[in-house]
Amino acid sequence: MRTGVLGPVGSFSHAAAMRTRPDGTLVFFETISDVFEAVERGEVDEGIVPMENSLEGSVGETLDCLLSHRVYMVGEYVLEVRHNLLSLAPTLEDVRTVLSHPQALAQCRGFLRRLGGVKVVATSSTSEAARMAALDPSAAAIASVEAAAHYGLKVLMSDIQDDESHTRFVSIAKKPLREVHGPAKTSIALFLKRDRPGALYEILGEFAKRSINLTRIESRTRRRALGEYYFFIDLEGQLGDCRVRDALSAIAECTDVMHVLGSYPAFRA
């Protein structure tokens, strides 16, 4: 099994992949989009990408890629995220620049505000920030302790995230799972019919009257014009369930576009 992850070595995507595919071969990519493209082209068997964080919400690049690439969600994993300030600098006062992925920077917004007087630079991943910090003694990275060990950095401060933080990662593959054993989820993306007032209400009602629990619903701009949105919905159950199939058939009348993103085993801690 070849698994594509956001790299380089030491990223939180790497940590999630090591826990879900400890015996697999990991292939590192510079961006989330690169992981999707590698899966779509068959360069790797699957990809593991960040989907949402408990502090900062969904990862927009992942949502956009789920709509623009012919891949399916086949699994999920929730990782507790602990951010650390890593550097070659001897003390915190010697740090002039802080580097990290935009999501990590946002999750440590309070810490950065208190730090003050430093330049904040966004990078493609937390581990890329660590790699760059290893080249500049005046720079520090917000990243994992694994990244500190790999790049020879010391931990200046630990647990600098604003609050307890968990990130949900999803596995993507070129083909959907045909059957899921045990508790399952199904993810879909919808674009509602504009000329049908109350379409979202009708859709939610179709799930409610079948006692299908929705675990997540959010909107994402269609990136064409203001006021145009996709709705991403996660629900309990799989496509093989009669209730789920009936609900998806019923809501099709309210949508201009419906993408079934896949059914997969629900994460259990």
Q: Is 167 a catalytic residue?
A: yes
The Cα 50–Cα 76 span in angstroms is 10
Q: Is 186 a catalytic residue?
A: no
The Cα 153–Cα 146 span in angstroms is 10
**Which position among 167, 186, 207, 255 bears the catalytic label?**
167
**Which position among 12, 29, 36, 169 bears the catalytic label?**
169
Residue of 62, 15, 27 lying closest to 166 (CA atoms):
15
Residue of 31, 58, 109 lying closest to 234 (CA atoms):
58
Beta bridge partners of 231: 190, 219
**Active-site amino acid positions:** 167, 169
